[in-house]
Structure 1
Amino acid sequence: MSVPSSDSNNTPTLNQKQHFLLSVLYFFSRRSLAFLQGLGLMLGTIAAWFPQGPAWVIRRNLKLCFPEQSERWINQVTRQNLIHTAQTGLEFTKTWGMPADYSIAQMKEFENIELFLEAIKSPKGCLVIVPHYGNWEFMNPWVSQQSQPVIMYKPSKNPIMDKFVWEARSRLQASLVPTDEKGVKSILKTLKSGGVSILLPDHVPHDNGGIFAPFFGISVWSGILSSRLIQKTQCAVVMLSCTRLAHSAGFKIVADKVDPEVYSTDLQLSVNALNRSVEQLIRRDPSQYQWTYKRFKKCETLKNVYQ
């Protein structure tokens, strides 16, 4: 299988082994969605047999966030989450490896989408909040078609994935900016000119990029970038999520309003509200969230959560 070429200024030259692995990624990107989701079901089920690794992290996160739930519920959601995680990872290869039109065509159902379509018309710009829930990457082409957003891009430490993802992102009707001060200035300029930007709000930020704020009742280190941008621009804010439909029938995009306190001039109140908005989405279906991520590795009171 041939591998598309890319701009050498953007991605490094790959050695023979890396080129082979990149070809494997392209191979999976050419498999049917049903095949990939079926494979993800099998891999996730197998992963659930092993209590360590990702399964342990998922269980730890679920017990922190849902202490009222039974052990049976924790085990069930852990298994479901491992399956969703495997399916999402394989689906990533599909949306990154195929033309944007393919992913756009897979968006079969929409709920409250008028919230998004109205928000992107705001003369003060629109900030689209996209948590790590469902398959956030698969809807990127559709969102880009509607709004030509500015998206932050952090090069992967893995040159194979970086090449693969860079080529995919470069095909979108979107502008890529770095995850640094220059990128933040680009997003601020975009919003002030009435444009659209997308941010994922639920990572653990660096030491200078966060404050402690409640998330599932736990004071956790939370990003302030989204709240700062909202305060400086008074832009419209909307949250989007994308989940797969049963029987490989495509995907559903849901638009949600955020907690109105996200517009507060008090940074703490704004970040609290953003965390509440993400939490509310997760509670809709906890199995869809990226629980393999160590979200609670920096807490105000809890220490060494993952040891």
Structure 2
Amino acid sequence: MSPVALGDLAASVRTEVEAAAYRTGWGVANRLPQAMVSSALRTTADTLTRRGGRGIDQLRANLARAAAPDADLDVLTRDAMRSYLRYWGEVFRLPRLAADDIDAAMGVDDIEIAYEAQAAGRGLIAALPHMGNWDLMGAWACLHGLPLMTVAERLRPERLYDEFVAFREELGMQVLPLTGGDPTMPALAEHLRAGGFVCLLADRDLSRSGIEVELLGESARMPVGPALLAQQTGAVLFAATSHDEGERMRMVVHEPVPHRAGPDGLRVMTQDLADTFSAQIRAHPADWHMLQRVFSADRTPL
């Protein structure tokens, strides 16, 4: 067997193992007491942090940009992994939570910004960083009169992606695939022109066509989609973030980003989002689950 074929086989086996781990976690988290699940996830997070590897190393490098000068990066990286594993534990249990449980799990600040735009018949675009629990945020929004459309990165194998889509649709979300389907921008724009709500993770560009901004004091590339959709449809654009507050998550709806015209306007609007993300990440660095390269200095040259 050729080296390429061996590499493809190894990648296939790895994705199957990862998929099995996700499905096992999904089943176990729904059967065991919450305290037992939380303890197991903390232990797993600590083990993964000590073991290290590419994702942990990148998380640590990203957090170094957000941390205070006197921060202990070892402790911060461990806490960020604990937060990340907590996210997965909550995701696995989310389909079984009743409405009262979702309300108990999420505190919300300044949601009136979204309701006022909705009442005026305008579309809404929430741009989110990979912070806290964005699935819980989406579930809360759907429960409180803000059903949303979003875009999901395809997971491998395909059936794992299908399971995640089904999970989110059960919560009331409409999910479009980032790749392998019809272009997402026309569907999102149509939804917004009809007064709909769109939520997009926006602190990491997956298209290689994003806009260079300053994030946490360094050059980074963020997706242009949220600002472009706002320009095209007149929808209200705002950042929405969440962070750990002990037993609850705290969601914050931030002030709308002013609309500006043209390519320069896109850059300024995206920078406005980056500024809000930077402030929130600095305030709650352990809740930023960024295990991938996001800063220009870390990217491999094309």
Q: Please report the TM-score for the alignment, with normalisation by the length of structure 2.
A: 0.80
**2:289 matched residue in structure 1:** 290
Query: Which residue is equivalent to 1:6?
Result: none
1:175 equivalent in structure 2 = 174
> 1:52 and 1:150, CA in 2 relative to 1: closer, same or farther beyond 3 A?
closer
Q: Secondary structure at the match of 1:124?
A: coil
Q: CA separation in 1, counterparts of 2:21 and 2:48?
A: 26
Q: For the residues of structure 1 that align with 2:136 and 2:106, how far apart are their CA atoms?
A: 12
Q: Deviations over 1:229-279 (max 9, x none)?
A: 111122112332333442xx3433222225x45x22222212211211211
2:260 to 240, 259, 264: 264
Identity %, equivalent residues: 16
CA deviation string 1:85-123 (max 9, x = no partner): 12112222112x425647624434222222233233342
The one-letter code matched in structure 2 to 1:277 is T
1:87 maps to 86
**2:210 paired residue number:** 210
Cα shift at 1:305: 7.3
Judging by fraction of residues, say which structure has more helix: 2
Return closer, same or farther for 1:107/1:114 CA change in 2, 3 Å cut-off. farther
Structure 2 vs 1, CA of residues 106 and 242 (structure 1 numbering), >3 Å: closer, same or farther?
A: farther
Aligned equivalent of 1:117: 115
1:141 is matched with 139
Q: How many angstroms apart in 2 are the aligned matches of 1:128 and 1:52? A: 33
For residues 118 and 129 of structure 2, what CA distance do their matches in structure 1 show?
Answer: 18
| Residue pairs, 1:46-195, within 5 angstroms | 46-66=47-67, 69-70=69-70, 72-95=71-94, 97-98=95-96, 101=99, 104-145=102-143, 146-179=145-178, 182-195=183-196
* Contact 2:122 2:193 survives alignment (8 Å): yes
Deviation at 1:173, TM superposition (A): 2.2
- SS of the residue 2:58 aligns to: helix
Q: Which residue of 1 aligns with 2:13?
A: none
* Equivalent position amino acid for 1:55 in 2: I
Contact 1:39 1:87 in 2 (8 A): no
Assess, with a 3 A threshold, how the Cα gap between structure 1 residues 159 and 184 changes in structure 2: closer, same or farther. same
Q: State the secondary structure of the residue aligned to 1:93.
A: helix
Residue identity in the other structure for 2:139: P
Counterparts in 2 of 1:99 and 1:250: CA distance versus 1, 3 Å: same
Could you give the per-residue CA deviations for residues 184-208 of structure 1, whole angstroms, max 9, x where no partner exists?
A: 111101111211111111122322x
Aligned counterpart, 1:197: 198
User: Which residue type is aligned with residue 217 of structure 1?
Assistant: G
Q: Once structures 1 and 2 are overlaid, which stretch shifts more, 79-88 or 48-57?
A: 48-57
Q: Which letter maps to 2:135? A: E
SS at match of 1:203: coil
In the aligned structure 2, how far is the partner of 1:104 from the partner of 1:22?
A: 22
Contact 2:131 2:289 survives alignment (8 Å): yes
The answer on whether the counterparts of 1:134 and 1:289 sit within 8 Å (CA) in structure 2 is: yes
Residues 1:264 and 1:64: Cα distance change in structure 2 (over 3 Å): same
Aligned counterparts of 2:25 and 2:73: Cα–Cα separation in 1: 34
TM-score, reference length from structure 1: 0.79
SS at match of 2:119: coil
Query: Which segments of 5 or more consecutive residues in structure 1 lack a partner in the other structure?
Result: 1-14
Deviation at 1:213, TM superposition (A): 1.6
RMSD: 2.9
User: 8 Å contact 2:189–2:229 — kept in the other structure?
Assistant: yes
Matched, 1:253 2:251: yes
Instruction: Report the Cα offset of residue 18 of structure 1.
Output: 6.9
In 1: Cα distance, 2:298 partner to 2:241 partner: 31
> Is the 8 Å Cα contact of residues 129 and 201 (structure 1) preserved in structure 2?
yes
**SS across alignment from 1:294:** coil
Offset of 1:289 from its aligned partner? 0.4
Q: What is the CA-CA distance between 1:23 and the residue it aligns to?
A: 5.1
CA 1:286–1:122 in 2, change beyond 3 Å: closer, same or farther?
A: farther
| CA distance, structure 2, for counterparts of residue 243 and residue 33 of structure 1 | 20
